[in-house]
Structure formats: structure tokens, C-alpha cells
Chains A and B, each alone.
Chain A
């Protein structure tokens, strides 16, 4: 079973829409959680960390449910510039690396 599972999409939404991405992780020893953004043919860049209490950064809200091993990202008032692939990422105890999901592709349409 994959460490991190995401719906690959694509999600095509109109400008101004609200869109939510979900991801699940398989290892209960997972420690830290992140969302990365990757533009076409570019490197991944950290979008935000995800905390159990939930956290918000402008139009972006991330939530973590440790009991269900589930992470979400909500984007409100979508902009054309939000078009990208969103990667769900976890770390776990005893491992030095990041575990990435396959990514969810978002296209915001004018």
C-alpha cells in the first residue's frame, strides 16, 4: 500500500470557485504533514504545513485528522494562478525523507 494516496484529478474549476483536495496516509507513525505546490515542469515548493488544529494562510486552509489519517486542503476564491499540481507530503519517525503522494492537478478556468 502506498504511504500517501491522493486523487490525481484533474480538477477543472471556474475562477472564484472553492475546491478541496484530500489525501490519506497509511502509516500511523507519520509525524509531519505538508502540502507542496508544483507548477508544470518545475520543482515542488512548500505551500503550507498542516497541523492538527488546522491552519489557514489567506485563501488556503489545511486540516489534519490523525484518527482517520486524512489531510485536506481547501482553496477559496480560486485564481488562474492557482493552476498547478498539489502534492500531499508526510514524514514519519525513523525516516529522513519526505513521502509524496502522486499529486492532484488543478486547472482554474477563466
Chain B
């Protein structure tokens, strides 16, 4: 079945440093979605990318979808303590009916 892998599993940064998490799927994706889950909270939708090579920005966050639609990345510029949490990618395979979540990258930010 479809597998979605994320690296790194954990990332510890000093406030103000940049952060990137990478998502790789074993199969071509119809789209890719990114979610953030704060400690003790629930996943919150951040963004959806649909087109090959698509790049979207939300303030300090930059999302990319690979040309082959099998990988994606989330980059945060100048992290803040409010960025703390676990970032998940999720995406339905091109021929699959359901979305598979990656294992997530947990970000901690030291003030």
C-alpha cells in the first residue's frame, strides 16, 4: 500500500533559525495537504497543493510540491515559539481513495 515518510522525525531549533520538513510518498499523489498539531491539540489544516511543482507561501511558511507529485516540503523562516508542534503531510494516492498521513515532524523552538 501507499507509504508516506517524513524527515526528520524531530527538529530542535533556536528561535529565529529556519526549519524544513520533507515528505516523500511511495506513489504519485493527487494532492498534498499539510497539518499542524500543537501539543495536546488536534490537527489543523494549513494548506493543500495540487499542481506539479506548485509553491505556496503563508507569511513565514513556504510549501512546495515536487514535479513528480511524490514529494513535498514545508519551510519555516525565522521560527518563533508559536511554531512549536508536529507537522504532518497527508495525501491521497492518484489511484487510492484515502489520504495517508506521514509520521510527522515534531518541532521544538528554544527561546
Partners in one complex: no
